[in-house]
């Protein structure tokens, strides 16, 4: 494994916010899982040596694509769309191909409720080319949250999309789309997500990270793939970025002799601090004390940047609703006390008939110079408890100046998707209204035609119990040791020495 390049974060030349920088020959950001699943099936069809998949969850019952066939091959080479059957089909036709799947161990019993998955896993188990593992190499209370696929150390995906159920959707986020159907038959709601596809040395670096995860989980030694000229990059995909440098940042808790890694947290603080004009972000949560403090410092400045965050209306499940939504309300009030120009805004996306679109994406764009996508949410767990991996492009770094225009185009694409307008109109509307929030406010006030839209997040009143749970970060601690610390001034959103004052 090659040594990571040093990034001068401090006077000792020790990197605290970036694990590695590596070049990528091609990069593309995929919006929503329908295209991602389809593109990943195309890429897997071109695999020659190894497919390594690391994730929070996998569901072998999902359909990756339409089950097409190569038209220059006999009819018997039609390949299945269903993930579990497709993996078996691949190793049957490529005897040298290795497929390695690593899933967080929590929820293993859930597989028993996915009856057909047990059959798929049995079929995987008897195939020598396939190895499936549950990863328990983490402290109690932590999770493995990274979402990566690496093919032949030549092509990789990294971001927020899990290859599991209830994720498939298109950027149209149609109301009651019959294709968004659970395996029990019920429909699930609109779901928005992002992932970055990477080709080249940066993909090989993610392969190094994946192999380390595999080894820590007890897997047999896995060597890097041999160099090859062929790339699994899907032929039909025109890359948004070419020949750019990719940065990689991680989170992992101290465990079994391995040190704590908090690069994701440090990188968030650095990226927020460097903004001159604006930050556009999408996140499943807004519950991180460090991120809220970094935002509060910026909005308290005489001429603060605009900071716009796209969040879901509600969290999934009672525990997340209690912990994450309560923290979002408390932190929003605390930041607002410093936000003299009202430059920090949270908006929620809705489909045409008013159904909330769930935001699972983890994205940050800074001044159209930095594009960051990964698995890390804006919550405490992603800062030091759970394993995370974020990748980013910084157009201010040497050799990356050509990346700024595609970053702008992506931001306009996302604003157009959420606002239900044509992408070509976004630049003119931003120029007319002067900011993203002002543009959205104007569109909200004139909303009357059918289509998607963004609405300001409404701060709801909290009960005393919800305030206590949120303030003490009982269900969203920053470090594993806080799970067992008594409630007090050393922990929580408004801990002693923190920058935020507890709202009334």
pLDDT-derived band at 446, boundaries 50, 70, 90:
confident
The gap between the terminal CA atoms of the chain, to the nearest Å, is: 52
The two structure tokens encoding residue 11: 């006077």
Instruction: Clarify whether residues 236 and 343 are in a common domain.
Output: no
Instruction: Clarify whether residues 335 and 458 are in a common domain.
Output: yes
Instruction: Clarify whether residues 333 and 306 are in a common domain.
Output: yes
Question: What would the pLDDT profile of 21-31 be if each residue is shown by its tens digit?
Answer: 999 999 999 99
pLDDT-derived band at 2, boundaries 50, 70, 90:
very low
Question: What would the pLDDT profile of 286-301 be if each residue is shown by its tens digit?
Answer: 999 999 999 999 999 9
Instruction: Clarify whether residues 312 and 224 are in a common domain.
Output: no
| pLDDT at residue 328, rounded to an integer | 95
| Domain membership flag for residue 9 | no
Question: What would the pLDDT profile of 125-135 be if each residue is shown by its tens digit?
Answer: 999 999 999 99
Instruction: Clarify whether residues 214 and 108 are in a common domain.
Output: yes
Of 203 and 119, more confident: 203
The bridge status of strand 363-366 relative to strand 370-374 is antiparallel
In this structure, the number of other CB atoms found within 10 A of the CB of residue 172 comes to 15
Look at the block and give the residue holding tokens 């091609």: 26
Residue 232's SS3 state is: coil
Buried residues in 45-84 as b, exposed as e (16+ CB within 10 A): bbbbbbbbbbbbbbbbbbbbbeeeeeeeeeeeeebbbbbb
| Domain membership flag for residue 409 | yes
Q: How far apart are CA 181 and CA 188, in angstroms?
A: 6
| Domain membership flag for residue 3 | no
Instruction: Clarify whether residues 193 and 259 are in a common domain.
Output: no
Instruction: Clarify whether residues 267 and 322 are in a common domain.
Output: yes
**What predicted TM-score, i.e. pTM, was given to this entire model?**
0.94
| pLDDT at residue 504, rounded to an integer | 74
| Residues pairing with 364 in the sheet | 281, 372
Which residue range is the domain that position 394 belongs to? 247-483
Sign of CA dihedral 203, 229, 99, 110: positive
Q: Is residue 73 predicted with pLDDT exceeding 70?
A: no
The two structure tokens encoding residue 66: 């339409």
| Domain membership flag for residue 488 | no
From 241-250, 420-429, 471-480, 482-491, the region with the lowest mean pLDDT: 482-491
The two structure tokens encoding residue 210: 């994946």
The fraction of the chain above a pLDDT of 90, given in percent, is 76
From 321-325, 395-399, 433-437, the region with the lowest mean pLDDT: 321-325
Buried residues in 309-348 as b, exposed as e (16+ CB within 10 A): bbbbbebeeeebebbbbbbbbbbbbbbeebbeeebbbbbb
Of 112 and 383, more confident: 383
Cα angle 142-148-149, degrees, rounded to a multiple of 5: 145
Instruction: Clarify whether residues 416 and 443 are in a common domain.
Output: yes
| 295 and 335 Cβ atoms separated by less than 8 Å | yes
Look at the block and give the residue holding tokens 């989980």: 217
Residue 278's SS3 state is: strand
pLDDT-derived band at 167, boundaries 50, 70, 90:
very high
Q: How far apart are CA 83 and CA 89, in angstroms?
A: 10
Instruction: Clarify whether residues 205 and 327 are in a common domain.
Output: no
Where helices occur in 350-495 by DSSP H, the ranges are 381-384, 404-419, 423-433, 436-445, 464-471
Domain count, the chain: 2
| Domain membership flag for residue 462 | yes
Q: What Rg value do the Cα atoms of the chain yield, rounded?
A: 22
Q: How far apart are CA 108 and CA 166, in angstroms?
A: 18
Q: How far apart are CA 339 and CA 346, in angstroms?
A: 13
pLDDT-derived band at 429, boundaries 50, 70, 90:
very high
| Domain membership flag for residue 496 | no
Q: Is residue 218 predicted with pLDDT exceeding 60?
A: yes
The bridge status of strand 306-310 relative to strand 130-135 is unpaired
The bridge status of strand 148-151 relative to strand 155-159 is antiparallel
Instruction: Clarify whether residues 237 and 280 are in a common domain.
Output: no
Mean pLDDT of the chain: 90
Q: What is the CATH number of the domain that holds 115?
A: 3.30.870.10
Instruction: Clarify whether residues 326 and 368 are in a common domain.
Output: yes
Residue 196's SS3 state is: strand
Q: How far apart are CA 152 and CA 12, in angstroms?
A: 35
Instruction: Clarify whether residues 229 and 310 are in a common domain.
Output: no
| pLDDT at residue 12, rounded to an integer | 38
pLDDT average, residue stretch 230-248:
98
| Domain membership flag for residue 502 | no
Q: Looking at the chain, how many residues does it have?
A: 504
Question: What would the pLDDT profile of 5-19 be if each residue is shown by its tens digit?
Answer: 334 344 333 469 999
| Domain membership flag for residue 124 | yes
């Amino acid at each position: 494994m090659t040594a990571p390049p040093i990034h001068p974060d401090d006077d000792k030349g020790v990197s605290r916010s970036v694990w590695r920088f590596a070049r990528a020959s091609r990069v593309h950001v995929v919006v929503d899982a329908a295209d991602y699943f389809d593109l990943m099936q195309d890429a897997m069809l071109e695999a020659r040596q190894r497919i390594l998949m690391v994730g929070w969850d996998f569901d072998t019952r999902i359909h990756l694509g339409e089950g097409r066939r190569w038209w220059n091959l006999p009819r018997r080479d039609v390949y299945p769309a269903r993930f579990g059957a497709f993996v078996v089909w691949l190793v049957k036709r490529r005897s040298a191909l290795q497929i390695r799947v690593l899933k967080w161990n929590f929820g293993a019993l859930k597989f028993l409720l996915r009856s057909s998955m047990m059959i798929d896993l049995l079929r995987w188990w008897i195939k020598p080319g396939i190895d499936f593992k549950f990863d328990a190499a983490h402290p109690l209370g932590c999770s493995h949250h990274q979402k990566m696929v690496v093919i032949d150390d030549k092509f990789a995906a990294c971001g927020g999309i899990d290859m599991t159920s209830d994720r498939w959707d298109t950027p149209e986020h149609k109301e009651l789309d019959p294709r968004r159907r659970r395996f029990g038959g019920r429909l699930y709601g609109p779901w928005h997500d992002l992932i970055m596809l990477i080709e080249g040395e940066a993909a090989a670096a993610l392969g190094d990270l994946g192999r380390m995860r595999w080894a820590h989980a007890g897997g047999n030694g896995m060597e890097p793939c041999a160099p090859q000229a062929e790339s699994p990059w899907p032929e039909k995909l025109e890359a948004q970025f070419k020949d750019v440098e990719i940065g990689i940042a991680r989170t992992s808790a101290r465990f079994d002799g391995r040190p704590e890694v908090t690069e994701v947290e440090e990188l968030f603080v650095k990226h927020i601090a460097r903004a001159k004009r604006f930050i556009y972000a999408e996140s499943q949560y807004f519950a991180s004390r460090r991120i809220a403090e970094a935002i509060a410092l910026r909005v308290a400045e005489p001429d603060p940047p605009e900071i716009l965050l796209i969040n879901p209306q509600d969290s999934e499940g009672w525990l997340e609703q209690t912990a994450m939504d309560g923290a979002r309300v408390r932190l929003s009030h605390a930041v607002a006390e410093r936000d003299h120009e009202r430059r920090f805004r949270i908006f929620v996306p809705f489909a045409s008939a008013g159904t909330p679109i769930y935001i699972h994406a983890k994205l940050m764009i800074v001044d159209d110079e930095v594009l960051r996508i990964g698995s890390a949410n804006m919550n405490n767990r992603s800062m030091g408890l759970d394993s995370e991996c974020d990748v980013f492009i910084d157009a201010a770094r040497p050799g990356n100046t050509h990346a700024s225009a595609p970053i702008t185009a992506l931001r306009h694409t996302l604003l157009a998707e959420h606002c239900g307008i044509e992408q070509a109109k976004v630049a003119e509307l931003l120029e007319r209204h002067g900011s993203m929030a002002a543009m959205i406010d104007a569109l909200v006030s004139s909303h009357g035609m059918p289509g998607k839209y963004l609405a300001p997040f409404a701060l709801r009143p909290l009960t005393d119990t919800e305030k206590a749970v949120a303030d003490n970060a009982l269900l969203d601690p920053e470090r594993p040791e806080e799970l067992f610390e008594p409630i007090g001034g050393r922990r929580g959103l408004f801990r002693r020495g923190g920058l935020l004052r507890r709202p009334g």
